[in-house]
């Protein structure tokens, strides 16, 4: 069923009785050409692009819970292409281009909204670092503008320009940056993959990965064994546990990132804004809630919930930057489990097991990567060669020291990225 305004109209006239299922609920078959472990954003987009770009049909996505129940459904929904380092730069640029056509690609309104992202800076040194980043964005063919204090004030008049502990010097303005409706991205890719014949199997937990003679042969699941020629592990938040089933130890430590949403408010923040001197970034959703977040809780955790010190830090940062939000009330807080890698950049690669692929280590930048991550993993699985824009996301880069992409410069301590 194709979605359109006309369809909404005609269905409305007939009691909305005719809407069909967004995706089937198939039982798993005993064998697939490709099995993808993980029905989150990345897994679903991988399945979609395997079918769409490479014409592959016999694919299953195995999800232990419900589709989109991981980080794609619990994040601050920021979409941007503003990286400095080569490797990241071309990848996120590609992803943003895919975002820009995603509604028509998926026939699903993911509400991608390019409302503009402003990274504020608060010292000469930070300005230099952001200028360096902005110039990298321009060199990649993306957009970037350097705003001075008055330039920021024109766009964001409500920030505190007088009192803040760290005065605003200016901002790096990325007009094509913005946000999207997170659940819709998962659902859109799920529906798109399903329409191309991919079996999306929920409540199906993988309990083992079968390997024979150095080659993957299938998976064991709570709904029985499934044979497969190729298997991809796309289970951010549980990457280490899934990889352990294949005897692998990943360069990943799992950490909690909290985020917050307020009650609905009439439009007050048009842009995505990030503070440069504390951990705070914010935007307003189409429903009116202020959606904001900060940094990790900083200790390894799978609890999907956080503690008060970071909650308070985030709120304090909000109050120093934009005290006009003080009377907005936080409605919900939640925590996502982040795959933190030693350089803050992701991994899309083959493994030492033939036919077994890994996609992990998205730190807390995975949401905006959803389209390109699937695109590139699909390319790698279908062709055997890394996609050019993801060629540096190698699993062995930490061992060799080659193409480490440490944007923050904080080194091989997983929680510092």
Partner 1 sequence: MRIPCPCCGDRDRREYTYYGAADFLDRPAEDAGLEAWDNYLHLRDNPAGVTRDLWYHDPCQSWVEVERNTVTHEVLSTRFVSAKAGASA
Partner 2 sequence: MTQSHRIPGKGLMIDRTRPVRFTFDGKGYEGFAGDSVASALLANGERLIGRSFKYHRPRGVMAAGSEDPNSLIEVHENGQQTPNVRGTMQEIFEGLDARSQNHVGPLNFDLMAVNDLLAPFFSAGFYYKTFMWPRAFWEKLYEPAIRRAAGLGRLSGKHDMGLYEKAFAFCDLLVIGAGPAGLMAALTAARAGAEVILADEDRRMGGRLLADQPEVDGQNGADWAASVVAELAAMPNVTLMTRTTVTGVYDDGTFGALERVSLHRAPGEAPRECFWRIHAKRALLTAGALERPIAHPDNDRPGVMLASGLVGQMGKFGVNPGKVVIFSNNDSGLHTARSLTAQGIEIAAYVDPRPLPVTEEFPVYAEAEVVGTRGRLGLKDVSIRHKGGTSVIAARTLALSGGWNPTMHLACHLNGRPEWSPELAAFVAKPGMVPGMSVSGSAAGFMSTRAALLDGHQKAAAALIELGLSVPEISVPESEDRPWAISPLWAVDAGGRAWLDFANDVTTKDVKLAAQEGYSSVEHMKRYTTQGMAPDQGKTSNVSALAVLAEATGKGIPATGTTTYRPPFIPVSIASMGAGGRGEGFAPQRLLTSDAKTRAMKAPMIEAGLWYRPSYFPRAGETDWRTAADREVLTVREHVGVCDVSTLGKIDVQGADAARFLDFVYTNTMSTLKPGRVRYGLMLREDGMVMDDGTCARVAEDHFVVTTTTSGAGQVMRHMDFVHQAFCADWDVRMISVTEAWAQFAIAGPKAKAVLATLGEMPSLPFMGCADVTIGGVKGRLFRISFSGEEGYEVAVPTRFGTALFDHLVATAEGMEGCAYGMEALNALRVEKGFITHAEIHGRVTADDVGLGKMVSAKKDCIGKAASQRPGLFEDREQLVGLMPVNQGETLSAGAHLYNEKDPAQREFNQGYVTSVAPSPTMGCWLGLGFLKNGRARYGEVIRLDDGLRGRKVLVEVCNPVFFDPEGGRMRD
Residues of this chain that interact with partner 1 (CB under 8 A) are 238, 240-241, 244, 249-254, 298-303, 307, 309, 342, 398-400, 412-415
Please identify, using beta-carbon distances, which residue of 233 and 290 lies nearer to partner 2: 290
Please identify, using beta-carbon distances, which residue of 230 and 255 lies nearer to partner 2: 255
Q: Where are the alpha helices (DSSP H) in 55-123?
A: 88-99, 102-106
Please identify, using beta-carbon distances, which residue of 54 and 334 lies nearer to partner 2: 334
Please identify, using beta-carbon distances, which residue of 148 and 396 lies nearer to partner 1: 396
The CA distance from 179 to 117, in Å, is: 9
SS3 349: strand
Beta strand extents in 97-163 (DSSP E only): 117-121, 145-148
Please identify, using beta-carbon distances, which residue of 154 and 266 lies nearer to partner 2: 266
To the nearest whole angstrom, how small is the minimum distance from the Cβ of residue 118 to partner 2? 14
The CA distance from 297 to 105, in Å, is: 37
Q: Phi and psi (nearest 5°) for 76?
A: -95, 15
Q: Report what 336 binds from partner 1, partner 2, none; CB cut-off 5-8 Å by kind.
A: none
Please identify, using beta-carbon distances, which residue of 107 and 410 lies nearer to partner 1: 410
Q: Could you tell me which residues come within 8 angstroms of residue 227 by beta carbon, excluding any fewer than 6 positions away?
A: 30, 31, 32, 210, 217, 218
Q: Report what 154 binds from partner 1, partner 2, none; CB cut-off 5-8 Å by kind.
A: none
To the nearest whole angstrom, how small is the minimum distance from the Cβ of residue 318 to partner 1? 18
Question: Does residue 42 contact residue 236 with C-beta atoms inside 8 Å?
Answer: yes
Q: Report what 298 binds from partner 2, partner 1, none; CB cut-off 5-8 Å by kind.
A: partner 1
Residue in 247, 241, 242, 410 with CA at minimum distance from that of residue 341 = 410
Q: Report what 33 binds from partner 2, partner 1, none; CB cut-off 5-8 Å by kind.
A: none
Buried b (16+ CB within 10 A) or exposed e, 78-93: bbbbbbbbebbbbbbb
To the nearest whole angstrom, how small is the minimum distance from the Cβ of residue 178 to partner 2? 8
Q: Report what 384 binds from partner 2, partner 1, none; CB cut-off 5-8 Å by kind.
A: none
Residue in 325, 379, 309 with CA at minimum distance from that of residue 348 = 379
To the nearest whole angstrom, how small is the minimum distance from the Cβ of residue 417 to partner 2? 11
Q: Report what 253 binds from partner 1, partner 2, none; CB cut-off 5-8 Å by kind.
A: partner 1
């Amino acid at each position: 069923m194709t979605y359109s305004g006309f369809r909404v109209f005609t269905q409305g006239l007939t009691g909305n009785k005719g809407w069909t299922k967004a995706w089937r609920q198939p039982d798993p078959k005993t064998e697939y050409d490709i099995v993808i472990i993980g029905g989150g954003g990345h897994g679903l987009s991988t399945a979609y692009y395997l079918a769409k770009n490479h014409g592959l049909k016999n694919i299953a996505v195995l999800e232990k819970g419900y589709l989109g129940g991981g980080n794609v459904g619990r994040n601050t929904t920021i979409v941007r292409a503003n990286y400095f380092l080569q490797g990241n730069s071309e990848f996120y640029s590609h992803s943003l281009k895919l975002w820009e056509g995603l509604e028509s690609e998926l026939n699903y309104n993911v509400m991608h909204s390019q409302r503009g992202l402003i990274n504020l800076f608060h010292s000469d040194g930070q300005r230099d670092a952001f200028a360096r980043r902005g110039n990298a964005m321009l060199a990649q063919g993306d957009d970037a503008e350097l705003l001075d204090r008055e330039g920021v004030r024109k766009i964001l008049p409500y920030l505190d320009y007088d009192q803040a502990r760290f005065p605003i010097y200016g901002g790096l303005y990325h007009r094509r940056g913005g946000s999207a409706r997170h659940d819709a991205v998962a659902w859109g890719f799920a529906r798109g993959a399903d329409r191309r014949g991919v079996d999306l199997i929920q409540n199906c937990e993988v309990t083992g990965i079968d390997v024979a003679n150095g080659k993957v042969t299938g998976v064991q699941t709570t709904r029985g064994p499934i044979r497969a020629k190729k298997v991809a592990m796309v289970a951010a938040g549980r990457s280490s546990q899934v990889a352990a089933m294949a005897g692998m130890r990943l360069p990943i430590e799992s950490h909690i990132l909290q985020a917050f949403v307020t009650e609905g408010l009439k439009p007050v923040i048009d842009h995505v804004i990030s503070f440069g001197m504390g951990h705070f970034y914010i935007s307003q959703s189409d429903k009116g809630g202020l959606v904001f977040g900060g940094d990790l809780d900083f200790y390894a955790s799978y609890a999907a919930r956080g503690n008060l010190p970071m909650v308070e830090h985030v709120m304090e940062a909000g109050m120093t930057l934009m005290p006009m939000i003080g009377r907005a009330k936080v409605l919900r807080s939640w925590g996502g489990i982040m795959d933190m890698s030693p350089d803050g950049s992701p991994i899309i690669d083959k493994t030492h097991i033939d036919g077994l692929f890994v996609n992990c280590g998205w730190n807390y930048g995975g949401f905006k990567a959803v389209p390109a991550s699937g695109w590139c993993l699909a390319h790698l699985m279908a062709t055997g060669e890394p996609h050019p824009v993801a060629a540096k996301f190698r699993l062995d880069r930490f061992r060799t020291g080659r193409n480490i992409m440490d944007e923050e410069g904080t080194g091989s301590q997983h929680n510092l990225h």
